[in-house]
Amino acid sequence: MQNTGSSAIRLSVLWHWLRSSFWFVPSVMLVAAGVLSYITIEVDRLDLKDDHFTAWWLYSGSIDGAREILSTISSSMITVAGVVFSITIVVLSLASSQFGPRLIWNFMHDIGNQVVLGMFVSTYIYCLLILGTIDSNVENQFIPHISITVGILLGLTSLGVLIYFIHHISSSIHANSVAAAVWRDLEMTIHKHLPQNATRSRQSAADLDEDFSAGVCPVPAHKSGYLEATNLEGLLKIAIERNLVLKIEYRAGHFIVKGNCLLLAKPAERVDAFLADEMNRAFIIGPQRTPEQDIEFSIHQLVEIAVRALSPGVNDPFTAMTCIDWLGAALCDFLTRENTSRCLFDAGGRLRVIVPQFTFPRLMDAAFNNIRQHARTDASVTIRLLESLAAIAGRVRKAEDIASVTRHAHMVKRGSDEGLYEQNDRKDVETRFRRVMEAIESKRVP
């Protein structure tokens, strides 16, 4: 079970990495083009003379005409592929400078761009392969009518794909589209790892920490890097088989230094070097953060877009407000799923694995701290921050979550008092601040 779970996690991380590469989808399409050329040539070699094979839509020209058509299509496709690749690189450079280097991943894993590049290259390869099968020998003259017709259809399809690419690439660099795409990734991560009907922990956090005050064995990390994903099922199986209780010290997104404590195991006498190696294999550590299990990853992307928009060189408060809207929507969604247990239990209900979770106050800090600090002198962004906090305040239930929203509202208010010089702007901020406080007071128990 551990190997199966570990393989599934690694395959998931690998799939995210493949999706963010420009070579995977085009390579698959190249192979498909080779297979298609083989199939159509074999059908042509059957030399069927039925009437439907001489239909008007099939190519029926000469050998020279066939070579000319295939040569034209193949040469034009490889030229357009080079243009598409150049445009894509320009867009990536623009995205890196305007939205931040971490946003390049979102553009690279856009399946539309990969399919467009793959379409042109695979059409080129298909026509090239078909061109090599044409035989002008008088005795063995061979014209692959069906294959040439398919090549023409691929060329026409590629023309439509080029039109799609122009529209897609121009709309994908729009700030609102970028923010919405990042939010979709964030929403998917929240829904995947925080089930809406999750159960609460059977023990309090204080009790769990007290259980690990003595008699534990620290398991060191075997490599440095960012924790991309953790195979919790594998760790649970280890804990059950060895009758252990494990406490994971890192969550997805944390940077791990080789030799630092990766997790704590209790009782210590049941842990040996072989078991420590097996536990380490349950953690996927890589050179960069990924959205596979890291909720803060996409939050930081939205924050980076907003902060860059608020910089003096850009001065685009509307993009910042768009990011605030999506951040508020994500935090409201998180509140409906946040009560998931931070513990894993065996079939008998005994505690086995303690998992560090993303807490609402921490996500609030990640979402609003940097934006608030850069928006102190911008009335419109400050007002939008408070409006988002008011929407979030209507969803909070737990005391620590209410306290977090209250703290952020007061920080936004104090920052505006110091940064805004216009009295009417401060009055507008005060009005929004009172709405947040009213929403919070309605949640307090008398």
Its pTM stands at: 0.81
Q: Has residue 84 been placed in a domain?
A: yes
- Are 52 and 68 within one domain? yes
- Are 319 and 434 within one domain? yes
Average pLDDT over every residue of 70-86: 91
- Are 141 and 30 within one domain? yes
The pLDDT assigned to 381 comes to: 95
The residue that leads in pLDDT, 56 or 76, is: 76
- Stretch among 244-253, 338-347, 414-423, 429-438 having the lowest mean pLDDT: 338-347
- The 10s digit of each residue's pLDDT in 133-143 is 887 665 667 78
- The 10s digit of each residue's pLDDT in 261-290 is 999 998 888 888 899 999 999 998 988 888
Q: Has residue 110 been placed in a domain?
A: yes
Total of domains in the chain: 3
The residue that leads in pLDDT, 339 or 183, is: 183
Residue 50 — very low, low, confident or very high, per pLDDT cuts 50/70/90?
low
- Are 150 and 66 within one domain? yes
CA 321 – CA 302 distance, rounded (Å): 11
- Are 63 and 87 within one domain? yes
276 touches 220 (CB < 8 A): yes
Q: What is the DSSP letter of 216?
A: -
- Are 20 and 160 within one domain? yes
Average pLDDT over every residue of 174-196: 84
- Are 25 and 151 within one domain? yes
Task: Give the residue from 286, 314, 349 where a domain finishes.
Answer: 286
CA 64 – CA 66 distance, rounded (Å): 5
The residue that leads in pLDDT, 90 or 207, is: 90
Residue 196 — very low, low, confident or very high, per pLDDT cuts 50/70/90?
low
Full residue range of the structural domain in which residue 33 is found: 2-173
- The 10s digit of each residue's pLDDT in 335-379 is 887 555 578 888 888 888 888 888 899 999 999 999 999 999 999
Q: Has residue 82 been placed in a domain?
A: yes
228 pLDDT more than 50: yes
CA 77 – CA 252 distance, rounded (Å): 43
199 pLDDT more than 70: no
Q: Could you give the residue ranges of the DSSP H alpha helices within 99-174? A: 104-108, 111-131, 145-172
The pLDDT assigned to 132 comes to: 86
421 pLDDT more than 50: yes
Per-residue burial over 111-127, b if 16 or more Cβ lie within 10 Å, else e, is eebbbbbbbbbbbbbbb
Average pLDDT over every residue of 213-227: 88
CA 407 – CA 401 distance, rounded (Å): 10
225 pLDDT more than 70: yes
- Are 320 and 272 within one domain? no
Residue 22 — very low, low, confident or very high, per pLDDT cuts 50/70/90?
confident
